[in-house]
């Protein structure tokens, strides 16, 4: 992926509007083969940090799904998503708890 596209994606993942963040997380999964190994790991790290701060359940689900898909590329290691341990599982719906637990277990 070209740098310009990558930076645009990162900006959208961090946008103030939940709809933009959700759409950007969904787009991450649509372009898995376009990322270099470094871009894939960087996106996973960014998405994990964003997930820790995310207040919107639907956006959090999209972020977690994107991380799972990025991990399937083989370029993302458990250390890249270790920030997820900061999420308070008891505050999440059961399905999202399972996402986080699966990601942390590798």
Tens of pLDDT, residues 11-51? 999 999 999 999 999 999 999 999 999 999 999 999 999 99
The size of the chain, in residues, is 106
Q: With a threshold of 0.85, does the pTM exceed it?
A: yes
Encode 77-104 in three state secondary structure. CHHHHHHHHHCCHHHCCHHHHHHHHHHH
In the three-class reduction of DSSP (H, G, I as helix; E, B as strand; rest coil), residue 15 is classed as coil
- How many other CB atoms are found less than 10 A from the CB of residue 81? 25
Q: How far apart are CA 41 and CA 19, in angstroms?
A: 24
DSSP H helix total and E strand total for the chain: 5, 0
């Amino acid at each position: 992926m070209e740098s310009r596209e990558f930076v645009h994606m990162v900006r959208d993942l961090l946008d103030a509007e939940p709809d933009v963040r959700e759409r950007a997380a969904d787009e991450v999964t649509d372009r898995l083969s376009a990322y270099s190994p470094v871009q894939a790991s960087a996106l996973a790290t960014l998405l994990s940090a964003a997930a820790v701060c995310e207040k919107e359940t639907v956006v959090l689900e999209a972020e977690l799904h994107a991380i799972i898909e990025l991990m399937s590329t083989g370029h993302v290691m458990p250390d890249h998503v270790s920030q997820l341990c900061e999420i308070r599982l008891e505050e999440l719906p059961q399905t999202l708890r399972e996402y986080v637990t699966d990601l942390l277990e590798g």
